[in-house]
Amino acid sequence: MLKITTPNYFLPIVEALTPGDVLGSGTTQPNVIRGICRQTQVKSDYVVKFRKAQRMSPEASARELVAAFMAMELDFNIPAPAIINISADFVEAMRGEPNFMVASNSLGYNFGNEYVKEGYQALVRGQKIPTELLERLQYLFAFDVLIGNSDRRTEKPNFLTNGKQELIFDHELAFSFTLLLPFSRNKEPWIMKATEMEWIKDNYCYGVLRGKDIDFSNFVAKFSVLNPTFWQKVASFVPVDWQTSQLTEIQTHVETIIRNKDVFKTELNRILK
């Protein structure tokens, strides 16, 4: 998968053409759509999270996109992100569909990603996790703590697997500290406080990894890719009407952890004991 710092990377802007099925029973009710990429003129299937769906907003859409960019840069497998343009004509084509009303209130740019149909499936509860995948989940746990993702829960892991690799999604609740009032935020985010442990203990990967002594050095070493060039690219790709002070807060938060990465690495092992 290309990274946003790769010279020939572009973020697909997709015109929604025809609606498909609603996926699962999740809170945001993502919808499969058929769309055409403005840059390539290629038609394909995408998943869209309507901006006015429950728990979505321009800010939530931005969090999804930034988390996706970070995941790509840190070598996670993720459905390639896209911006889905919802037009009045598309909404008319949705008349009678379950998401008609929410789509009609979501004209313009919405967060989406490519629709991955084959090759991945959910883990069956209680099944043994292959060794190769277990190593990937170690890094996924560290990533969730880095981005403050409170939504990869035991009962809803928000990833699929092919037995060796993960396919991660659903990051509208990433950077959860932005949802708190400033005075209640952790002033040392590289150290996990009791309030963060509430959601960390419910993280799917925490339950799998608890009690294990893990070397996070290789993962933390990758933090160097989250540099000023990366953040400049992020700002250039996030749609203007999604941009608020939240973007600066996210960058500052991540950069603060990176400056204290050695302590952060130690903290990851401490909270798993």
What residue ranges do the domains of the chain occupy? Answer: 13-114, 131-272
Task: Compute the residue count for the chain.
Answer: 273
Q: Which residue intervals of the chain are DSSP H helices?
A: 58-73, 88-93, 100-104, 131-147, 194-200, 204-209, 217-221, 228-237, 245-259, 261-272
- CB-based contacts of 199: which residues, under 8 Å, 6+ apart? 150, 176
Please report the DSSP string for 192-224 in residue order. Answer: --HHHHHHHTTBHHHHHHTT-----HHHHHGGG
Q: Are 3 and 73 in contact (CB under 8 A)?
A: yes
pLDDT in tens, the chain (273 residues): 899 999 999 999 999 999 999 997 678 899 999 999 999 999 999 999 999 999 999 999 999 999 999 999 999 999 999 999 999 999 999 999 999 999 999 999 999 999 998 899 998 877 889 999 999 999 999 999 999 999 999 999 999 999 899 999 999 999 999 999 999 999 999 999 999 999 999 999 999 999 999 999 999 999 999 999 999 999 999 999 999 999 999 999 999 999 999 999 999 999 999
Question: What are the backbone angles phi and psi of residue 243, rounded to the nearest 5°?
Answer: -85, 120
Q: How far apart are CA 50 and CA 61, in angstroms?
A: 9
Buried b (16+ CB within 10 A) or exposed e, 175-202: bebbeeeeeebeeebbbbeeebeebbeb
Instruction: Show the tokens assigned to 50.
Output: 């309507």
Q: Would you give the DSSP letter of residue 113?
A: E
Q: Are 61 and 49 in contact (CB under 8 A)?
A: yes
Positive or negative, the CA dihedral 117, 25, 104, 58 is negative
Residue 25: per-residue pLDDT: 61
Q: Would you give the DSSP letter of residue 18?
A: E
Q: Which residue has the tokens 């925490």?
A: 206
